[in-house]
Structure 1
Amino acid sequence: MNNQRGKGPQQIGDLLGGSLGASLEKLKAGIDAKQQKRIEAAARPGESKEQVAARLRDEDARADRERNASSPVKSPPPSPSIRKPPTGDEQPDFFVPSLYDVGTKDSRSIMDVAVFRLSKKDKRAGGVIRYELSDGYVEVKAGPDGMASVWDYDLVLMMVSHLTEAMNRYREGRGEKPGRTYRPHVSDILKFCRRGDGGRQADEVEGALDRLKGTTIKNVRERPSANGRRPMREVEAEGLVSSYKVLSYTENGKIASVEIEAPKWLYREVTEGKRPDVLTVHPDYFLIDPGIGRFVYRLARRAAGKGEAKWAFQTIYERSGSAGTFKEFRRILRNIIEANDLPEYELREEAGQGGPLLVMIYRDRADEALPPPSGV
């Protein structure tokens, strides 16, 4: 093939040579002959050969566009927000509920701001999130082990649920008032949080407790004074757990049980007053995979309850404490809306004066309260 260089443009058959080149030349000649017959058959009076060929090309292009329009390429379905439950996730049929059968509760006071990170990758060690509120602010500060994640917070939900159930028994005269410490087995924690009961998951419990202890919540509020003059400024700061210690290990060195001390502010919310300020959380909450999806569910549970609520995308982004861009946050949020598989709540996007709105509505009344999606 080297002796063909320097001769300028050549036919591919000349370069390939032999029987393959001859076959290609024959194929090309057949195509040319077929096209020539088509031009002759489609010619109109007064048209040149070139004009007929140009008209046929335009007609072919128009036919392709119409064919593509009638059969559009389907976009892939949205990624699901709910992961599959682990093997052996079924609850045992006991008359007396064990610790992980207690209905999941969450503190209302911090359900509409994220006191944790939503990302699995960025640990945000030493990071700070600050939320400005109408009567003060909430500040989340991370320690050297990293900021507690929304998945680490499952252990706090378990703690709140345990305290709530114990207080219910106490008020009914069926037990003593609970203290600030409780001692769950690690297998109970993993079962409650609907995670697999493996060695890696057991090791992750200790890491989660390190981050929960090292993540401090600073709550600053201004309250009206008794004499109506200068408002009182209240400041309180404490970790998501006050302390913990490992009580026992298995024979192969894995954590078997732990002791966790609830922070004072959380203990006070659950145990003081006749109606503790807690809300029940659906058990499928623990199967929500995206961190933003978990935050949206918590927000819906707090704001919509058994009804509906609307929040601006921008406000949700600000309340989520997300370290990503608003553009990426919107993309993930819209994927969650399209999947629409969060427990209990129907999600829709709606246009607002200041930007897109997220409509959250309790599923039992979604059909009667929401208009059909656009385009239906």
Structure 2
Amino acid sequence: MTKLSPERKSLDGVKDPALRRQLELLELTMPTAPKAPNQAQDTAKRSAPANDNQPDFFVPAVQDVPIKDGLDLMDIAVFRLAKSQTRKGDIIRHELPGVTITVAGGAHGMATIMDYDVVLMMVSHLAEQTRLHRQGRAPKPAKFFRPSSVEIFKFCRVSKGGASYDMLAESLRRLQGTFIEIAHNNAGKRSRRTGYFPLIAGADVISRTDTGRIGTVEIIIPDWMYDAVTSHTNPEVLTLDPDYFLLKKGLARFIYRLARKAAGTSEATYSFEAIHARSGSTRDIYNFTKDLRKLIELEQIL
């Protein structure tokens, strides 16, 4: 017999077995109110950390800078989407029209799309300093970026807990070891720069907290990124929505980047197979398609 819910215990007072059974059957056929969606599982975004919009008087206001991303690399994955696979020494190869792009992971594993948040912060800072310099309000930006760990957490919209400090240290190791190679394979139009490019050119911990965690870190901006932002009249960057950092899944973030680069054109169409290839995912196409359809069903990446 079906186990009675707390609301159905009132049937215990019905003495006639036949009547009681009919009432049970009637209740089983009545529609029930739909359950409220589980916000932790049924949304593409996580909740913002506590005091997310509250200014910190001891932290510079870099978190208020518009979030910028390098235009060249927004339509492909130059990182792994999944946190579960380190992909040490692994390679992602993108065969695109006229160009081959290779991403290689280092000894600490390939950088993740979450690690790339640090790169986004670096590009955003560089773009803002370049804008101020051209207005005569600041010196030309240096190739060294010195954010505090708290400033990074604020910009990337993550909590300041101990786990965030550990993840920051791991992110810097993976970013330092991940390299990109871009090679043209025909004499056609060159829409991307060629060469070998690190995601960051180095990093050093300048100070530590009383508990030994990262206080301030100095990140060396790679030449290719520095030149792309500072040497062009219109820097090769695009603004991202701040809620990008709240997207929980690497795939959701990748889809947003892909769509953001296409924004401003009439339209952009990608097959599921093309998205699978550009994402660099190790998931087989069947399960990747299931993941993508599930994401589409949420109808809310941003």
Superposition pairs of residues 39-54 of structure 1, within 5 angstroms:
none
- 1:99–1:162: 8 Å Cα contact kept in structure 2? yes
Name the structure 2 match of 1:186: 149
Q: In the aligned structure 2, how far is the partner of 1:71 from the partner of 1:309?
A: 43
Q: 2:85 aligned with 1:126, yes or no?
A: no
Name the structure 1 match of 2:71: 108
Name the structure 2 match of 1:141: 104
The SS at the match of 2:268 is strand
Q: In the aligned structure 2, how far is the partner of 1:277 from the partner of 1:323?
A: 30
> Which amino acid in the other structure matches residue 112 of structure 1?
D
> Which amino acid in the other structure matches residue 334 of structure 1?
R
> Which amino acid in the other structure matches residue 249 of structure 1?
R
Superposition pairs of residues 231-242 of structure 1, within 5 angstroms:
235-242=194-201
Superposition pairs of residues 303-342 of structure 1, within 5 angstroms:
303-305=262-264, 308-342=267-301
- 1:79–1:335: 8 Å Cα contact kept in structure 2? no
Q: In the aligned structure 1, how far is the partner of 2:171 from the partner of 2:237?
A: 23
The structure with more radius of gyration: 1
Q: In the aligned structure 1, how far is the partner of 2:32 from the partner of 2:281?
A: 36
Name the structure 2 match of 1:150: 113
- The alignment-based identity, stated in percent, is 42
The SS at the match of 1:311 is coil
> How has the CA–CA distance of structure 1 residues 128 and 74 changed in structure 2, closer, same or farther, with 3 Å as cutoff?
farther
Query: Where does the alignment leave 5 or more consecutive residues of structure 2 unmatched?
Result: 1-16, 19-27
- 1:136–1:222: 8 Å Cα contact kept in structure 2? yes
Deviation for aligned residue 1:79: 2.2
The SS at the match of 1:85 is coil
Name the structure 2 match of 1:215: 178
| Structure with the higher fraction of residues in strand conformation | 1
Q: In the aligned structure 2, how far is the partner of 1:142 from the partner of 1:266?
A: 19
Q: 2:255 aligned with 1:296, yes or no?
A: yes
> How has the CA–CA distance of structure 1 residues 306 and 87 changed in structure 2, closer, same or farther, with 3 Å as cutoff?
farther
Deviation for aligned residue 1:185: 0.4
Name the structure 2 match of 1:202: 165
- Candidates 277, 280, 283, aligned match of 2:236: 277
- 2:44–2:249: 8 Å Cα contact kept in structure 1? yes
Q: In the aligned structure 1, how far is the partner of 2:90 from the partner of 2:287?
A: 20
Q: In the aligned structure 1, how far is the partner of 2:263 from the partner of 2:241?
A: 14
> Which amino acid in the other structure matches residue 315 of structure 1?
A
> How has the CA–CA distance of structure 1 residues 166 and 144 changed in structure 2, closer, same or farther, with 3 Å as cutoff?
same
> Which amino acid in the other structure matches residue 336 of structure 1?
L
Name the structure 2 match of 1:45: none
Q: In the aligned structure 1, how far is the partner of 2:99 from the partner of 2:177?
A: 23
Higher relative contact order (CA 8 A, sep 6+): 2
Deviation for aligned residue 1:304: 2.7
Deviation for aligned residue 1:235: 4.5
Query: Where does the alignment leave 5 or more consecutive residues of structure 1 unmatched?
Result: 1-29, 32-66, 226-230, 344-376
Q: TM-score, normalised by structure 2?
A: 0.83
Q: In the aligned structure 2, how far is the partner of 1:130 from the partner of 1:306?
A: 26
- Aligned-pair Cα RMSD in Å: 2.8
Residues 45-97 of structure 1 show CA distances to partners (whole Å, capped at 9, x for unaligned) of xxxxxxxxxxxxxxxxxxxxxx99x9799899672110001111114299x97
- 1:91–1:101: 8 Å Cα contact kept in structure 2? no
Q: In the aligned structure 1, how far is the partner of 2:79 from the partner of 2:36?
A: 32
Q: TM-score, normalised by structure 1?
A: 0.67
> How has the CA–CA distance of structure 1 residues 73 and 221 changed in structure 2, closer, same or farther, with 3 Å as cutoff?
farther
Name the structure 2 match of 1:267: 226
Q: In the aligned structure 2, how far is the partner of 1:203 from the partner of 1:163?
A: 25
> Which amino acid in the other structure matches residue 340 of structure 1?
E
